Copies of this chain bind each other. A is one copy, B any other.
């Protein structure tokens, strides 16, 4: 029996070949290929809404999304049928039926992103699509010291890119860990939300700290200026991956 219901999908994707999450003309986006696959196997009654947009080249290990569908298929059947249709670089990890008012976007409580830097002279042939390769040795201690200043509730105007549509620039970062594993530097960010390119702008600034171009003690001043031009460069997209989203009902 065909029934209309809302489903929650957990998506995994390699962003390399996509112009980001959101539909755009003349380029291929993740939202487009997911909607096309879902439309082929169900009667799709809505857009597919993700927890948030990811930029061109950014990856996702767990990107939650929801859509309203009309189908007689069960949740697992939908997942398997979608995976048979989706390209190799997009995959559905889970499908569950949720309440009609559950929103992947508005029900989110916090999100975790990870950024990977490969810090050695030689690039890696295996990871060049998923790391920012920086040849000169970064000062991790200085970066960690600077990172501490971002923790807590701040107005992140200095770290949001042009075109950010959010009315309120205040966000609360609960975690900003910097781990070093041989030549790899892993930066993990958890916040109740992120402004446009906020993670990449913070990473770019932390790298300038690691290069000695910005002092760790200057981060507080940069935050206070509420001016994007005060902070560092925007880190390239390929090092970034959406790791996890936690919801209010969880």
Complex contacts, A83 vs chain B, CB 8 Å: 122-123
A92 to B12, CA, bound (A): 32
User: Which of A2-27 touch B at CB < 8 Å?
Assistant: 12-14
Residues of B within 8 A of A130 (CB): 126
Chain B residues whose CB sits within 8 angstroms of the CB of A92 once the complex forms: 122
Measured CB to CB, the closest approach of chain B to A9, in angstroms, equals: 13
Q: Which of chain B's residues have a CB closer than 8 A to the CB of A125?
A: 12-14, 88-91
Query: Which residue on chain B has the smallest CB distance to residue A13?
Result: B125
Nearest neighbor of A130 in chain B, beta-carbon distance: B126
**Are B14 and A123 interface neighbours, CB within 8 A?**
no
Which interface class (under 10, 10 to 19, 20 to 34, 35 or more) fits A?
Answer: 20 to 34
For A122, give its contact among B14, B93, B122 (CB under 8 Å).
B93
CB distance from A46 to the nearest CB of B (A): 24
Contact of A128 among B59, B89, B93, B124 (CB under 8 A): B89
- The answer to whether A88 and B122 touch across the interface, beta carbons within 8 angstroms, is no
* Given A88-B128, A93-B122, 16 extra CB contacts under 8 A: A12-B124, A12-B125, A12-B126, A14-B125, A14-B126, A59-B126, A83-B122, A83-B123, A88-B123, A88-B125, A89-B125, A89-B128, A90-B125, A91-B122, A91-B123, A91-B125
| A-B contacts, 23 listed (Cβ < 8 Å) | A12-B124, A12-B125, A12-B126, A13-B125, A14-B125, A14-B126, A59-B126, A80-B121, A83-B122, A83-B123, A88-B123, A88-B125, A88-B128, A89-B125, A89-B128, A90-B125, A91-B122, A91-B123, A91-B124, A91-B125, A92-B122, A93-B122, A126-B130
